[in-house]
Structure 1
Amino acid sequence: MTHDATSPIHGALASPIASAPADASRTARRRTIVATSIGNGLEMFDFTVFSFFAAIIGKSFFPIDSGAGPLLLAMATFGVGFVMRPLGGILIGNYADRAGRRAALTLTIALMMVGTALIALTPSYATLGVAAPVLVVLGRLLQGLSAGGEIGAATTFLMESGPMSRRGFMVSWQMVSQGAAALCGAMFGALLSATLTPASLESWGWRIPFVLGLLVGPVGMYIRRNLDETFEAPEREQSAFREIMQCYLGRISLGTLMLVGGTSMLYIIVFYMPAYGVRTLHLPVATSFLAGCASGGIMMISSLISGLWITDRMSRRKPVVIVTSLATLLCVYPAFKWLTTAPSVPLMIGIVTLVMGIATLGTGSYFLLIMEAFPRRVRATALAMIYSLGVTIFGGFAQFNVTWLLHRTGDAMSPAWYLLACGIVSQIALWCFPERPADAAPNP
């Protein structure tokens, strides 16, 4: 007895088999999300923890008598990681466009693990002498090199791993992982500060989050090494970096300027606002922990909302980025005016939540707008260059710039003026950036 393809028996037997590739595809996408989130989150986790314990790290490795000297040197050590980002973006982005995304992702997490190990395990200056600060600086240099290439390789891999209709959802996990890591970093910092004595915290307690982050690294490396490659490098006569410099330099410049508003918003609202609340507005020290948790949590939620219900339902990327960035700018002045007039912890938490919530609604569309503007053969290098340059120049120096403005003007509204200026620059660049037409064949 035989059955044709339309018979009920044939359909019943074929259904599980037909769904197997879809199930396998969903499993592969989950594995991709986990693998990229671990490496990307580890970077933000280390960033948050280092910021939280900067004063203690300064005392451990820079024994200078000046009261502010150790902290300044610790922040300078932190800053050298930003200096390495553009180099990491070029080198590792180029590697991802030549050897494949998987190879680049494996390299970035290996570099991040070595850098974290140097910070977590290096003995203090009192034990090791001058070699101690040298090793810590070397650790930050390796972390910066890794971070510069991580975003380009990881976000491109996320985009290319999903179907066209789910690109926004896949890319949204880049910011979800950052939010989760910032939340965990703030919670670890607060927990250790509350449970350990100051002596224990300065002696060994500050190392615990770095060690825990280091233990997660091998899991991420194992998963990344077993991912399916999404990119087969073509035969090329010149490197991706050289092609970009010859053909796409204008887009790189505009893309970097587009990032000015977003990266300044992230580094000021998430990392500077807690210190601003305590030092300038004289709010309780607990504000630092609460603001860190609020910003990390809302980044996770808002990014997921963007990926699930906004980015993939819009045929164009630019309108989403324009609307969310303009809405964020419109909130900045009244929010800071209210906060400086009647400062309070609930108001601080509310402002951080509101501003970051609106800002991160457009991040998925922003990343796709950038990546879809470049051919696949140079995509990882292009995104890595744009992101690393923007974060280094405008994100890494945002806190310094606002602190300088506050010192020079004495105006508590200085963060608002700075954010508004950066936002205007981003809006101009955004309107000039070329978007692929909605009816054009998309880059694969």
Structure 2
Amino acid sequence: MQSILEAGPAALDAPRLTTSQVRRAVLASVIGNGLEWFDFLIYGYFAKTIAHVFFPVHSSFLSITLTLATFAIGFVVRPLGGVVIGAFADRYGRRRTLSALIVLMAASTLLMGLTPGYATIGIAAPLIVLCARILQGLSVGGEFATAASMLTEYAPPGRKMFYGSFQMTSQAVALLLSSACSFLLTTQLSPASLVAWGWRVPFLLGALVGPVGFYIRHKVAESPEFVQLRKRLGHAPRQSLRTFLRERGDAALCAVGVIAVGAATNYLWHSYMPLYVERQLHLPLKSALLGTAVSGLIGIVGYPLAGKLADRFGAYRLFFPVTIVWICAAWPLFAWVLAAPTPERVFAAQMIATVVLSLMSGAHPGMLTQLFPTSTRSTGVALSYNVAVTLFGGMAPLTVSTLIGVTGSRIVPAWYLIVSGLISLVLVAASASGRRLVREPDARPTESESA
């Protein structure tokens, strides 16, 4: 196996990689992303319980809103973390950055699990939770981009989308584990035990991944493409944010479009769905958690399959038909569930959404890294990915919950998905980068003179 580099003379000097080196790089890249998603999903699943523990106000609507706002704040700071950490990864390497990120993520997860409730330490409790979310938001701001860069830079020729899809597969594994853990806790513990200590167990278990992840990441070799770039330049790549926006602004807008509809779908159907099922459909939480666990199983198979299809036919050529189908299906799917809310209909809708999401998002890491050269790849992916996930994903539960409370309409999630899908189509179609990659699926960006 060997890595593919940007076109140029340095590609001829690319080192050969052993199978064990590639496997170690894949594991090192995906383990932190899995921890990130495990924590995020657990927070969403236990939003009602967390609201009771940390935000015990008289209005249940206000309590949930404060909990979701704390959830959202982790996303608000993600673009800042993405720019800072992405620039660090582009300058000093992927391996060093990933090692530091896993420590910070594990620490913030542990803080969530150990913080006493409002009844014990008063206002300090929600403030500590807020700090934990901010720390996590800053760390995960650079996690996806740096890990995706590492994966695709280790990928052999013609398999970048497939290798990148393992980043999404780690989310599916986290989805399966977090939903299974939540299902067991909610069905085996009494409500009092769940509030007292049960909800903390997943956060504490998640924090245990940190030391293992650090060890694995510390042992992995640096990305071969980054090593070749440093060798060719003779110094660390450097580029100002202003120069990046001027030279890569079109690619960044295209990347936001790629991610927007997938982020909205992911967070609504996986993170927000348990709360929606409880509060809007008045069904037990386990009705959503069972479907979410099965969704994780589907994603584990579906994401790599989507990556293979994207390598074969062109990821940007598949993007438009899949997104259009989802836009057309979103409203009928929600309307069907709302017409007669039952656990069976919720489960069926979750399966449909998961299949579409797998086809839509499996190639996302590869699609984003394909837009930027090695010297600015982590910065470009981090900035565009985090802006899109913050606006369309992280804010989705709060936005949808608030709109439902204001309008009284339970069909709001469908309209949210439709609008997100239309924005995605417009941004990708309007960008020169998107149109070029539809025509030439294997096109690669060239390094700028300022690198």
**TM-score, normalised by the number of residues in structure 1:** 0.88
| Distance (whole Å) between structure 2 residues aligned to residue 99 and residue 182 of structure 1 | 32
Closer, same or farther: CA 123–276 of 1 in aligned 2, 3 Å? closer
Shift of 1:196: 2.1
Q: Is the 8 A contact 1:97 1:240 kept in 2?
A: no
| Distance (whole Å) between structure 2 residues aligned to residue 408 and residue 63 of structure 1 | 22
Please state if 1:198 is matched with 2:196.
Answer: no
Where structure 2 has 5 or more consecutive residues not aligned to the other structure, the ranges are: 1-14
Closer, same or farther: CA 348–254 of 1 in aligned 2, 3 Å? same
Closer, same or farther: CA 440–77 of 1 in aligned 2, 3 Å? closer
Q: Is the 8 A contact 1:271 1:292 kept in 2?
A: no
Please state if 1:132 is matched with 2:125.
Answer: yes
Match of 1:77 in 2: 70
Shift of 1:238: 4.5
Shift of 1:240: 5.2
Say which one has the larger Rg.
Answer: 1
Amino acid at match of 1:357: V
Match of 1:339 in 2: 337
Shift of 1:98: 0.4
Deviates more, 1:414-423 or 1:153-162: 414-423
Please state if 1:158 is matched with 2:157.
Answer: no
| Distance (whole Å) between structure 2 residues aligned to residue 130 and residue 337 of structure 1 | 41
| Distance (whole Å) between structure 2 residues aligned to residue 87 and residue 441 of structure 1 | 27
The equivalences for 1:177-216 within 5 A come to 177-216=170-209
Question: SS of the residue aligned with 2:18?
Answer: helix
Shift of 1:426: 0.8
Please state if 1:298 is matched with 2:298.
Answer: yes
Question: SS of the residue aligned with 1:329?
Answer: helix
Please state if 1:392 is matched with 2:387.
Answer: no
Deviates more, 1:148-157 or 1:73-82: 73-82
Amino acid at match of 1:229: E
Closer, same or farther: CA 271–311 of 1 in aligned 2, 3 Å? same
* Aligned equivalent of 1:97, options 62, 77, 90: 90
Closer, same or farther: CA 133–399 of 1 in aligned 2, 3 Å? closer
Shift of 1:143: 0.6
Closer, same or farther: CA 162–411 of 1 in aligned 2, 3 Å? same
CA-to-aligned-CA distance 1:310-335 (integer Å, 9 cap, x gap)? 12223x32102122222222322332
Higher relative contact order (CA 8 A, sep 6+): 2
Aligned length: 421
| Distance (whole Å) between structure 2 residues aligned to residue 72 and residue 262 of structure 1 | 24
Shift of 1:63: 4.3
Match of 2:12 in 1: none
Match of 1:106 in 2: 99
Shift of 1:39: 0.5
Match of 2:7 in 1: none
Match of 1:313 in 2: 312
Please state if 1:31 is matched with 2:30.
Answer: no
| Distance (whole Å) between structure 2 residues aligned to residue 126 and residue 418 of structure 1 | 36
Match of 2:5 in 1: none
* Aligned equivalent of 1:148, options 138, 141, 155: 141
Match of 1:13 in 2: none
CA-to-aligned-CA distance 1:387-433 (integer Å, 9 cap, x gap)? 10011111122223323443444443322222112111111112223
Closer, same or farther: CA 284–130 of 1 in aligned 2, 3 Å? closer
Amino acid at match of 1:378: T
Q: Is the 8 A contact 2:304 2:362 kept in 1?
A: no
Please state if 1:169 is matched with 2:162.
Answer: yes
Shift of 1:305: 1.5
The equivalences for 1:2-41 within 5 A come to 25-41=18-34
**TM-score, normalised by the number of residues in structure 2:** 0.86
| Distance (whole Å) between structure 1 residues aligned to residue 130 and residue 400 of structure 2 | 25
* Aligned equivalent of 2:370, options 359, 369, 372: 372
| Distance (whole Å) between structure 2 residues aligned to residue 201 and residue 405 of structure 1 | 29
Match of 1:119 in 2: 112
Closer, same or farther: CA 71–310 of 1 in aligned 2, 3 Å? same
Question: SS of the residue aligned with 1:204?
Answer: helix
| Distance (whole Å) between structure 2 residues aligned to residue 108 and residue 129 of structure 1 | 30
Deviates more, 1:272-281 or 1:184-193: 272-281
Match of 1:360 in 2: 358
Q: Is the 8 A contact 2:65 2:402 kept in 1?
A: no
Closer, same or farther: CA 38–440 of 1 in aligned 2, 3 Å? closer
Closer, same or farther: CA 130–275 of 1 in aligned 2, 3 Å? closer
| Distance (whole Å) between structure 2 residues aligned to residue 406 and residue 131 of structure 1 | 30
CA-to-aligned-CA distance 1:203-236 (integer Å, 9 cap, x gap)? 2222111111111111111100111101134436
Shift of 1:154: 0.5
Closer, same or farther: CA 291–364 of 1 in aligned 2, 3 Å? closer
Amino acid at match of 1:198: P
Deviates more, 1:252-261 or 1:110-119: 252-261
Q: Is the 8 A contact 1:321 1:363 kept in 2?
A: no
CA-to-aligned-CA distance 1:181-222 (integer Å, 9 cap, x gap)? 012111111211222233322222221111111111111111
- Aligned-pair Cα RMSD in Å: 2.4
| Distance (whole Å) between structure 1 residues aligned to residue 403 and residue 127 of structure 2 | 32
Q: Is the 8 A contact 1:320 1:365 kept in 2?
A: no
* Aligned equivalent of 1:48, options 37, 41, 44: 41
Match of 1:11 in 2: none
* Aligned equivalent of 2:320, options 316, 319, 322: 322
Q: Is the 8 A contact 1:324 1:359 kept in 2?
A: no
Match of 1:87 in 2: 80
Closer, same or farther: CA 223–337 of 1 in aligned 2, 3 Å? same
Q: Is the 8 A contact 1:283 1:344 kept in 2?
A: yes
Please state if 1:415 is matched with 2:413.
Answer: yes
Q: Is the 8 A contact 1:172 1:364 kept in 2?
A: yes
Question: SS of the residue aligned with 2:163?
Answer: helix
| Distance (whole Å) between structure 2 residues aligned to residue 253 and residue 291 of structure 1 | 34
CA-to-aligned-CA distance 1:148-201 (integer Å, 9 cap, x gap)? 110110011110012122212210111111111012111111211222233322
Shift of 1:378: 0.2
